[in-house]
C-alpha cells in the first residue's frame, strides 16, 4: 500500500521553517546559535578517564595499522623487485 500525504504540505516545509524564513540575517544567526547551544547541552561528554582511554585505544590502533601497511608495502615491493627487478 502507498502512504497518502496531505497535498498542502511538501516534505520541505516544516512548521518552524516559515517563521525562520521571515527573520533577518542577524536574527537567523542568533536562532542558529541558540539551537546549537541547546543541542550541545544534550551531549553526554566523556569523563577525563574515558577520554584518556579512548585516545590511547585510537593511538594503539593507528600504530598497529601503520605497522601492517608498512609490512605489506615492504613485502610487496620486494616481491615486485624480485619478479621485475
Comparing 2 with 72, the larger pLDDT belongs to: 72
SS3 32: helix
- Burial environment of residue 31 by CB neighbours within 10 A (0 to 12, 13 to 18, 19 or more): middle
DSSP 8: T
Domain boundaries, the chain: 16-44, 46-85
Reported as type and span, the H/E element at residue 12 is: none
Segment 23-68, tens digit of pLDDT: 888 999 999 999 999 999 999 999 999 999 999 999 999 999 999 9
* CA 55 from centre of chain: 17
57 touches 68 (CB < 8 A) = no
C-alpha cell at 25: 540575517
Amino acid at each position: 500500500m502507498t502512504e497518502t500525504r496531505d497535498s498542502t504540505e511538501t516534505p520541505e516545509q516544516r512548521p518552524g521553517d516559515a517563521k525562520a524564513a521571515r527573520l533577518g540575517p542577524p536574527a537567523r544567526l542568533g536562532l542558529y546559535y541558540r539551537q546549537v547551544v541547546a543541542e550541545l547541552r544534550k551531549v553526554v561528554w566523556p569523563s577525563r578517564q574515558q577520554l584518556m582511554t579512548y585516545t590511547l585505544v585510537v593511538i594503539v590502533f593507528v600504530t598497529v595499522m601503520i605497522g601492517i601497511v608498512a609490512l605489506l608495502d615492504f613485502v610487496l615491493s620486494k616481491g615486485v623487485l624480485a619478479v621485475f627487478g
